């Protein structure tokens, strides 16, 4: 095992020594006449601190990862000594350079810039982590389970004693059906709300209605899930599904779709609002000048001009809907089925990821590993939608700038 | 064709005007629909959840007989702990039966059914009380104990005489007795502090379930997110906004960040499970892993808002700093960053609020587990934030999966608590924006 606390403490002590010693050395090198120094004493101190901590901590992280990857049992103390040696070397190097002509500020800022670059690379590391974590386990899954069965089989019935049918089609169908219903609610309402707010509403109305609608965006999805479970589901069952003979399940495609639609309204409306506002005023004025009414201008000038952006917004909303988890976990049910009846319980990709990865999991069984294949499929679909949508939105924005 | 007055509207204009009016109405009804949806959502949660903040208690005059609780008479907790909660349940039952008789109330209920009106949690409460203070034995203890979930439900309107008649766990007679006891002031409904402080309780006793562990777990995770996401996010934004050269590498990072912001949250859960738990072997269900996952999720939000805040600081500030001899780094850290701080803080708080409500990724890293122990922030064994815990939104999910209808009320109450926290955070963000926002 690799000790962590002791090396970190020693590095901290070394850094403190640098902070105290480097300025003294610099001042001593000019016999106390600070004016002759190229950098302020403080900068020498900062440089020494960073020269100790950055390489030291980097070496420590490297050692931790190396130990984890190759499962070393012994040699922890040796590695810790190595880490401390790296930090000490950094300190000595910085101290040796703390003299009259050394530009400590430039050197210290190089270290800071290195830290900034590292921080911004974490975004890349996250993506790499996401892809790697799923690709690795997915390939494990496909070595145990035929990939054609996964992508093209219409049966989903996992069985932990083996012999499972793990076809993604019923899950994809449920996902797309629910997303479609959600968009069928959210797009008209969101779009009309955006049109009204940007073209008709006065300042007062706008300043009240816009934040109120945006409250919907700030509510966590678990709240929507509970709303679907205790209010919308029973309501739809008692007043629509049962009287009309569509079934008697409270969790259904309709329940999840309706609630998800409510969740997406602010998303669609605020994106469309931005896009409609980006249409130049001159186009409106031209239309009014020809005698068009406001609604004619909106329908025949503004919407066509904003259409690519609105399509982009709808695609982003679709990717949200496809990746949404809690609403479908609580509102859609767990039965994998291919059916057209919107009042029947169906299930989605995200629901199955949750159900296969919670509880007792065995990371050698295809029934658990399938969740990673589902996750990767979900990731690829949403990523594709996002990239496409952002491309459309960006291209459109350039048109009027 | 007859000429018409300009003041008289012709048929075509009337039609166009009607279309205009209709269109306007569509827009207005869309907004009304959205607002109604919000109102229904809030009313539904509030109406089913507010009652979780009230709880029914029975005030017992409880004799603690020495011959049952401490036969040895030495008052040694180690010996006394041999009496299990079952033994205490019998004493509680006897106490209530005696009290009912003393008040002169007639009932057809068996002694066991009268005792059943007291929550199963109560015997543990009394036992802990006695073990902590052995001198209580032999005295009569006046104590408020939890009423059983269905009695509690009766006073909140969830359980009725009709539903009780069909329920094997209670009966109309028990409810009638409860009503009489309430008139005499023995049964009372009080504000439920335990809901906010007590740990979760098992399936059969919704009346005892509380949010203590969940709130603590969420707090730990928010600390981890704040400590990690704020510095990393700000550092990344500073680099991208102030230093990054326009090249392929920065382009890749930028596209990456905007895509990460749109990755479904459940994917982050898979990442956490594969990297932090399976690979790095951090403890399952620990706030540390939860915090790390939420940090990665929150980073894009923080980076996007920090960059906007940095961008809004005018270039003249940077130029002035450079002009008096500051280095680029000094101009950023000494001048730009302090001026952008309110915007950064606002963005961070909104990112934290998002993280607080996130559920799906936490399900995958095992935070659904049933946890009754308050997690410690640090233990030598589990490390920093390494003890198993749960979180507010996950606790809501957990309770929705339980059979007893009493848990629906608990889940809605937990949602209200969550929404109150979010409201406070957003209010702080809005206040900061109003107070410190600068227009250049």
**Quick one: B342 and B255 in the same domain?**
yes
**Quick one: B133 and B234 in the same domain?**
no
Beta bridge partners of residue B146, listed in sequence order: B57
Report the pLDDT value the prediction gives residue A398, as an integer from 0 to 100.
63
**Quick one: B280 and B174 in the same domain?**
no
Domain stop point among B159, B192, B225: B192
How many domains does chain B contain in total?
2
Note whether B154 and B406 are within 8 A (CB): no
Beta bridge partners of residue A156, listed in sequence order: A166
Selecting from B239, B356, B412 the residue whose C-beta is nearest the C-beta of A116 gives B239
State the CATH number of the domain containing residue B402: 1.10.3720.10
Is position B24 within any domain? no
- pLDDT means per 10 residues, chain A with 401 residues, are 84 95 92 89 94 94 86 80 93 91 93 94 90 92 91 86 85 95 96 94 91 92 95 93 86 95 95 89 94 94 90 93 94 88 92 88 86 95 91 73 56
Measured between its terminal Cα atoms, the distance across chain B in Å is 62
CB neighbour class for A248 (10 Å; exposed up to 12, middle 13-18, buried from 19): exposed
Do B279 and A68 count as a contact with CB atoms less than 8 A apart? yes
Shortest distance, CA B328 to any CA of chain A (angstroms): 9
Selecting from A188, A224, A378 the residue whose C-beta is nearest the C-beta of B267 gives A378
Report the pLDDT value the prediction gives residue A325, as an integer from 0 to 100.
94
**Quick one: B165 and B312 in the same domain?**
no
Distance CA B147, CA B179 (A): 12
The angle at the Cα of B19, spanning B18 to B21, to the nearest 5 degrees, equals 65
> Which residue of chain A comes nearest to B233, CA vs CA?
A119
Going by the DSSP 8-state scheme, the letter that residue B7 receives in this structure is T
Question: Which tokens sit at B6?
Answer: 């300009």
Domain stop point among B192, B220, B249: B192
Backbone φ and ψ of A90, nearest 5° = -60, -45
Is position B116 within any domain? yes
Other Cβ atoms closer than 10 A to B212: 16
Is position B5 within any domain? no
Distance CA B421, CA A199 (A): 35
Interacting residues of A223 by C-beta distance below 8 A, sequence separation 6+: B41, B45, B357, B415, B418, B419
Note whether A221 and A324 are within 8 A (CB): yes
Residue pairs between chains A and B whose CB atoms are closer than 8 Å = 256
Note whether A314 and A187 are within 8 A (CB): yes
Interacting residues of A86 by C-beta distance below 8 A, sequence separation 6+: A55, A56, A59
Per CB-CB distance under 8 Å, the chain B contacts of A330 are 397, 400
ipTM (interface pTM): 0.91
Nearest CA-CA partner of B306 in A310, A123, A386, A388: A123
Low-confidence ranges of chain B (pLDDT < 50): none
- Collapsed DSSP state (helix, strand, coil) of residue B190: strand
Measured between its terminal Cα atoms, the distance across chain A in Å is 59
Per CB-CB distance under 8 Å, the chain A contacts of B41 are 216, 219, 223-224, 227, 262
Per CB-CB distance under 8 Å, the chain A contacts of B34 are 189-190, 193, 212-213, 216, 262, 265-266, 269
Question: Which tokens sit at B29?
Answer: 């009804």
Question: Which tokens sit at A358?
Answer: 């919670």
**Quick one: B286 and B166 in the same domain?**
no
**Quick one: B67 and B126 in the same domain?**
yes
Note whether B299 and B232 are within 8 A (CB): yes
Do B281 and A68 count as a contact with CB atoms less than 8 A apart? yes
Nearest CA-CA partner of A232 in A214, A213, A212, A249: A249
Selecting from B29, B41, B270 the residue whose C-beta is nearest the C-beta of A133 gives B270
The angle at the Cα of B410, spanning B408 to B413, to the nearest 5 degrees, equals 110
**Quick one: B223 and B178 in the same domain?**
no
Is position B198 within any domain? no
**Quick one: B69 and B108 in the same domain?**
yes
Largest Cα span, chain B: 117
**Quick one: B134 and B64 in the same domain?**
yes
Is position B13 within any domain? no
| CB contact residues (below 8 A), chain A span 30-69, against chain B | 68
What order of strands is seen across the sheet that includes strand B140-146?
B140-146, B54-63, B187-191
Question: Residue B63: which H helix or E strand, with range?
Answer: strand B54-63
Question: Which tokens sit at A268?
Answer: 């669609």
Per residue, what are the HEC states of A369-398? HHHHHHHHHHHHHHHHHHHHHHHHHHHHHH
Report the pLDDT value the prediction gives residue A286, as an integer from 0 to 100.
95
Note whether B349 and B429 are within 8 A (CB): yes
**Helices and strands in chain B, H and E counts:** 20, 5
Question: Which tokens sit at A321?
Answer: 């809907």
Note whether B284 and B348 are within 8 A (CB): no
Do A372 and B274 count as a contact with CB atoms less than 8 A apart? yes
Note whether B123 and B60 are within 8 A (CB): no
Report the pLDDT value the prediction gives residue A20, as an integer from 0 to 100.
94
According to DSSP, the β-strands at B54-63 and A165-166 are unpaired
Do A130 and B33 count as a contact with CB atoms less than 8 A apart? no
Note whether B146 and B55 are within 8 A (CB): yes
- Collapsed DSSP state (helix, strand, coil) of residue B57: strand
Contact with chain B for residue A290, Cβ under 8 A: no
Going by the DSSP 8-state scheme, the letter that residue A12 receives in this structure is H
CB neighbour class for A29 (10 Å; exposed up to 12, middle 13-18, buried from 19): middle
Domain that holds residue B113: 55-192
Interacting residues of B61 by C-beta distance below 8 A, sequence separation 6+: B95, B99, B140, B141, B142
Predicted confidence (pLDDT) per residue in A97-111, tens digit: 988 889 999 999 999
Is position B16 within any domain? no
Burial A67-104 (b: 16+ CB within 10 A, else e): beeeeeeeeeeebbeebbebbbebbeebbebbbeebeb
Selecting from B44, B279, B329 the residue whose C-beta is nearest the C-beta of A231 gives B44
Nearest CA-CA partner of A141 in A366, A374, A355: A366
Distance CA A261, CA A189 (A): 9
Distance CA B419, CA B413 (A): 10
Contact with chain B for residue A209, Cβ under 8 A: yes
Distance CA A25, CA A97 (A): 9
Question: Residue B145: which H helix or E strand, with range?
Answer: strand B140-146
Distance CA B428, CA A12 (A): 35
Distance CA B272, CA B274 (A): 6
Is position B233 within any domain? yes
Domain stop point among B192, B227, B256: B192
Is position B228 within any domain? yes
CA distances from A195 to A177, A203, B88, B114 (A): 27, 14, 67, 63
Question: Residue A71: which H helix or E strand, with range?
Answer: none
**Quick one: B344 and B404 in the same domain?**
yes
**Quick one: B276 and B373 in the same domain?**
yes
Other Cβ atoms closer than 10 A to B393: 28
Burial A273-301 (b: 16+ CB within 10 A, else e): bbbbeebeeeebeebeeeebbbbbbbeeb
Distance CA B315, CA B318 (A): 5
**Which stretches within B50-148 are classed as H helix?**
66-69, 77-80, 85-102, 111-115, 120-132
**Quick one: B326 and B432 in the same domain?**
yes
Note whether A62 and A21 are within 8 A (CB): no
Contact with chain B for residue A394, Cβ under 8 A: no
């Amino acid at each position: 095992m690799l000790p962590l606390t002791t090396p970190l403490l020693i590095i901290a002590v070394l850094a403190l020594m640098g902070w105290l010693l480097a300025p003294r050395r610099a001042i001593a090198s000019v016999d106390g006449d600070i004016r002759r120094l190229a950098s302020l004493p403080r900068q020498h101190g900062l440089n020494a601190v960073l020269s100790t901590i950055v390489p030291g901590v980097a070496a420590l992280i490297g050692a931790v990862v190396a130990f984890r990857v190759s499962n070393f049992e012994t040699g922890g103390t040796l590695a810790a000594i190595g880490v401390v040696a790296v930090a000490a070397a950094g300190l000595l190097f910085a101290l040796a350079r703390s003299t009259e002509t050394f530009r400590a500020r430039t050197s210290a800022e190089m270290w800071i810039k290195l830290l900034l670059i590292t921080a911004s690379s974490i975004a890349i590391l996250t993506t790499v982590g996401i892809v790697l974590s799923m690709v690795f386990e997915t390939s494990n899954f496909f070595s145990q389970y035929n990939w054609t069965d996964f992508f093209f089989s219409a049966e989903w019935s996992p069985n932990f004693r083996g012999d499972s049918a793990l076809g993604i089609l019923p899950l994809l169908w449920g996902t797309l059906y629910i997303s479609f219903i959600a968009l069928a609610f959210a797009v008209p309402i969101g779009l009309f709300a955006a049109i009204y707010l940007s073209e008709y509403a006065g300042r007062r109305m706008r300043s009240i209605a816009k934040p109120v609608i945006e409250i919907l965006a700030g509510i966590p999805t678990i709240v929507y899930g509970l709303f679907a479970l205790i209010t919308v589901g029973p309501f739809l069952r008692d007043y629509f599904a049962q009287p009309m003979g569509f079934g008697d399940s409270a969790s259904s495609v309709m329940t999840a779709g309706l609630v998800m639609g409510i969740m997406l309204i602010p998303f669609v409306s605020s994106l469309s609002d931005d896009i409609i506002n980006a249409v130049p005023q001159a186009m409106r004025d031209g239309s009014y000048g020809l005698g068009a009414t406001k609604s004619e201008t909106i329908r025949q000038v503004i919407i066509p001009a904003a259409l690519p952006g609105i399509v982009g917004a709808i695609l982003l909303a679709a990717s949200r809907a496809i990746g949404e988890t809690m609403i479908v976990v609580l509102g859609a049910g767990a039965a994998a089925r291919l059916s057209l009846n919107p009042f029947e319980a169906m299930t989605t990709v995200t629901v199955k990821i949750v159900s296969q990865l919670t509880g007792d999991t065995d990371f050698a069984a295809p029934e658990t590993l399938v969740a990673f294949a589902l996750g990767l499929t979900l990731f690829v679909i949403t990523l594709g939608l996002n990239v496409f949508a952002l491309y459309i939105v960006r291209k459109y924005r350039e048109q009027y700038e | 064709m007859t000429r018409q007055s300009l003041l008289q509207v012709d048929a075509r204009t009337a039609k166009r005007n009607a279309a205009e009016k209709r269109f306007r109405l569509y827009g207005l009804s869309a907004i009304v629909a959205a607002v109604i949806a919000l109102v229904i959502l809030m009313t539904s949660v509030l109406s089913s959840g507010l009652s979780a903040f009230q709880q029914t208690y029975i005030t017992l005059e409880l004799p603690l007989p020495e011959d049952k609780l401490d036969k040895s008479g030495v008052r040694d907790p180690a010996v006394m702990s041999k009496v299990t909660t079952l033994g205490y349940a019998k004493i509680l039952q006897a106490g209530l039966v005696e009290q009912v008789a003393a008040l002169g109330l007639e009932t057809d209920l068996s002694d066991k059914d009268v005792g059943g009106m007291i929550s199963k949690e109560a015997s543990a409460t009394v036992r802990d009380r006695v073990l902590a203070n052995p001198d209580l034995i032999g005295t009569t203890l006046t104590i408020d104990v939890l009423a059983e979930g269905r009695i509690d439900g009766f006073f909140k309107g969830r359980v009725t005489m009709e539903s009780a008649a069909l329920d094997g766990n209670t009966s109309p007679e028990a409810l009638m007795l409860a009503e009489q006891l309430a008139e005499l002031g023995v049964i009372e409904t009080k504000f439920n502090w335990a809901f906010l402080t007590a740990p979760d309780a098992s399936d059969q006793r919704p009346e005892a379930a509380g949010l203590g562990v969940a709130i603590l777990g969420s707090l730990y995770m928010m600390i981890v997110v704040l400590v990690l996401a704020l510095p990393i996010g700000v550092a990344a934004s500073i680099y991208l906004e102030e230093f990054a050269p326009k090249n392929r590498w920065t382009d890749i990072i930028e596209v990456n960040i905007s895509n990460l912001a749109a990755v479904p949250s459940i994917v982050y859960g898979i990442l956490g499970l594969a990297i932090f738990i399976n690979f790095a072997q951090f403890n399952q269900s620990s706030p540390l892993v939860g915090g790390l996952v939420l940090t990665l999720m929150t980073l894009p939000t923080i980076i996007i808002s920090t960059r906007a805040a940095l961008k809004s600081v005018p270039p003249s500030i940077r130029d002035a700093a450079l002009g008096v001899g500051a280095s680029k780094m000094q101009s950023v850290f000494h001048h730009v960053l302090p001026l952008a701080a309110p915007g950064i803080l606002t963005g961070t708080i909104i990112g934290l609020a998002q993280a607080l409500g996130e559920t799906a990724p936490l399900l995958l890293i095992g935070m659904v587990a049933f946890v009754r122990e308050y997690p410690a922030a640090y233990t030598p064994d589990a490390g920093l934030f390494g003890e198993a815990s749960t979180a507010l939104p996950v606790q809501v999910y957990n309770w929705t999966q339980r059979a007893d209808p009493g848990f629906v009320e608990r889940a809605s109450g937990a949602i209200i608590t969550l929404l109150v926290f979010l409201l406070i955070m957003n209010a702080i963000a809005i206040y900061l924006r109003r107070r410190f926002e600068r227009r250049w």
